[in-house]
Copies of this chain bind each other. A is one copy, B any other.
Amino acid sequence: MPKQATPLPHTVLGGDTPCCPPLAQQRLPADVATALAPAFKALGDPVRLQLMSMIASAENGEACVCDLTPAFDLSGPTISHHLRTLREAGLVDAERRGTWVYYRARKAVLSQLAALLANTGQSPQ
Contacts and interface: CB of A to CB of B under 8 A. Distances in A.
10 tightest CB-CB pairs across the interface, nearest first? Answer: A41-B44, A24-B56, A28-B53, A114-B117, A114-B118, A40-B43, A40-B44, A110-B120, A34-B46, A33-B49
A79 interface: no
A117 B117 contact: yes
Contacts of A19: none
Interface of A: 16, 23-28, 30, 33-34, 36-50, 52-54, 56-57, 105, 107-108, 110-111, 113-118, 120-125
A110 B45 contact: no
B108 A124 contact: yes
Nearest to A37: B46
B36 A49 contact: yes
Say what secondary structure dominates the interface of chain A.
Answer: helix
Nearest to A43: B40
A121 to B, nearest CB: 4
Contacts of A56: 23-24, 120
Given A36-B49, A50-B30, A50-B33, A105 B120 contact: yes
